[in-house]
Chain A
Amino acid sequence: MANRTVQFEIKRQASPDGPAVWERFELEWRPGMNVISAMMEIAANPVTADGRPTTPITYDSNCLEEICGSCAMRINGKARMACSSLVDNLEQPIRLEPLSKFPLVRDLQVDRSVLFKNLMRVKAWVPVDGTYDLGSGPRVYPQQQEVNYPLSNCISCTCCMEVCPQFNEQTGFVGAATIAQVRLFNNHPTGKVLKEDRLRALAGDGGIQECGYAQNCVKACPKQIPLTNAIADVGRDVIGQKVKDWLRG
C-alpha cells in the first residue's frame, strides 16, 4: 500500500518585481504535521511534485506556537497563522499564498513594517524614560487587568489588516490591531498620559473613521482579541476628543 501523501500548491515569486508562478509539492504524510513543518521538509528536499529541483520556500516564522506573529499567510485563500494550521484540518491541495496587502519580499515573505509605523504614529507605548527614577507605577486593579489582558495578546501578525476590506492603498486605513493597542495603552494608568495624542492621531487621514465595520478582523484574529469592541470604544473616545478640541479651540 502506497504511503499517504499531502499535496501543496505554493505561489512562488523570486523577487518583488518578478513573475509569480505556482509550484506543486507532494510530501509524505506525518501525524500532527502543520504548514510550517511541511515547508521545512520542502527545504530539506526542494523538489516539486513532478520531480523538478527548485529552491526552498522563503517565509517568515519563528516560535511555531502562535505567539510571535511571523508566519501569517493565506492558506486556502484565508489569512491565518501557518504554524497553527494543521494539515489534517485543511482541504487538499493546500494552497499557500503570501498576504496580499503588503509589499512582497520573496515567495511567502512580505514586508509588514506598516503596522510598526502605525504603532509608532499612535504612540503605542508607556512613556517611562526620564532623568530620574520614577519609582513603581500605579496599581492596576484586577477588573482593569481583565479588560487589558486580551488586548495585550496582539502578536502583530496583521491578519486583521489583511482580511479588512477597508485596509488598502486607497484608504490608507490604520487597521484594527493599532486601534486595539490605542485602547490598551489608553487604559494603562501611566500610558494614559498620551491618551489625547493617540486619539488625535487616530482622527487623521486613514484613521479610525475608515472602518467599515465588516467585522472580518475579529473573525480572523488568531488571538481572539475583541477588536470590534475596541473599535467601538476608541471610536467614541476619538469623537469625544475631537468635539472637546473643537469647543476648546
Chain B
Amino acid sequence: MATAHVPAARPHVPQVHRGVEPLHAGEGTSFIWRKLHSLTGIVPIGAFLIEHIISNWEAVQGPVAYGKQVYFLNHLPLVRALEWVFIFIPLLYHGLYGIWIWLRGKANVVYYPWAGNWLYVAQRYTGLLAVVYIAYHVATQRFMGVDLPNHPAAAFWKVQRELANPWILAFYVVAMIAICFHFAYGVWLFAAKWGITPGERSRWRFGWVCGVAGFILMGMGLASIWAFVSARYANAPENPSLGFQGSESRDQRTALALKPNGLTVRIGNPSQVADAHAGL
C-alpha cells in the first residue's frame, strides 16, 4: 500500500487579521434593541430604583413604617402585573442584553487609562454585579422565605434576618454602591448618546447633577441598610401590627374570622393579637 501523503504540520499557524467589517448601512435590528436597552435603564428600571430607595427610607422610621410601605406597594391595583411588566421583564432584558454588550466590547483601559475609558469599564463591572445581586435579592426576598405580599408586616424582620450575616450585609452594601453608580452614570450616558447633552459644557454640568443625585440615592440606600442592622431596631418582631384594619397577614385574618365569641385565638405574641382586635 502506498504511503499516504501527510502534509507536514506548519510550525506556526498565523492568525490573519480580517479586520472590522464596514457598516451594514440601514440593515439589521440592533439599533432598536440597543436603544431599548438604553431606555429601559431609565424607565422603568431607573424609576423603580428611585421608588425602591425611597421606600427603603421608611426602614429608618422602623419596622411598622416599613411594613406599612410594603403593604401600600403590595396593594397597588394590578400589582402583580405591574411587577412583571415594569420590573422583572425589563430587568431581565436590561441585564442579559447588557452582558451581551459587554462581551462584544474590547476594553483597552490598560493602554488608554483615561477617565471616560475607566467609566466605560466601571459601567460594565457594576452592571454585572447588579445582575448577580438583583437575581439573588429577588430570589431570596421576593420568592423565598416569608411571602411578603401576603405578610407585609414581616418585611423588616425578614430583611433584618438576611442582613444578620456579615457576608450578605457586605454584599448588600457593595451592590448598593455599584447600582447607584451604574444608574447615575447610565443617566449621564443616556443624555450624551441620545443627544440631550451634545456640548462639552452641558455634559460637564450634567455630570455634576448625576453625580450628586447618585450620591444622594447611595446615602439614602446605605442609611436604610444601617437601619436594619443598628441597635435601634434590634430583634424586630416578626409580625408587628401595622395599626390599621386589613393590615394583618392572611393567617391573622383567617384566625380572626374563625374566632368564636369571647375566645382569644393566639397568633404570635398576645400584644399583637390585642392590637389586631382593637382594629376590628
Contacts and interface: CB of A to CB of B under 8 A. Distances in A.
A30 interface: no
Interface stretch (A32-40, A85-93, A224-232): A224-232
B14 A203 contact: no
Interface in A118-151: 118, 121-122
Contacts of B200: 226, 228-229
Contacts of B5: none
Contacts of B198: 229, 232-233, 236
Contact of B194 (A19, A206, A219, A236): A236
A9 to B, nearest CB: 16
Interface of A: 16-19, 77-78, 101-104, 111, 114, 117-118, 121-122, 161, 163, 165-174, 178, 200-207, 209-216, 219-220, 226, 228-229, 231-239, 242
Nearest to A226: B200
Interface string B88-113: 00000000000001011111100110
Contacts, number: 170
Nearest to A123: B25
Interface in B170-210: 189, 192-200, 203
A203 B26 contact: yes
Given A165-B105, A212-B105, A233-B195, 6 more contacts: A165-B107, A173-B20, A206-B23, A220-B112, A231-B192, A235-B194
A213 B111 contact: no
A243 to B, nearest CB: 10
Residue from A161, A168, A220, A234 having most chain B Cβ neighbours under 10 A? A168
B185 to A, nearest CB: 10
Minimum-distance CB pairs A-B, first 3:
A236-B195, A215-B116, A205-B28
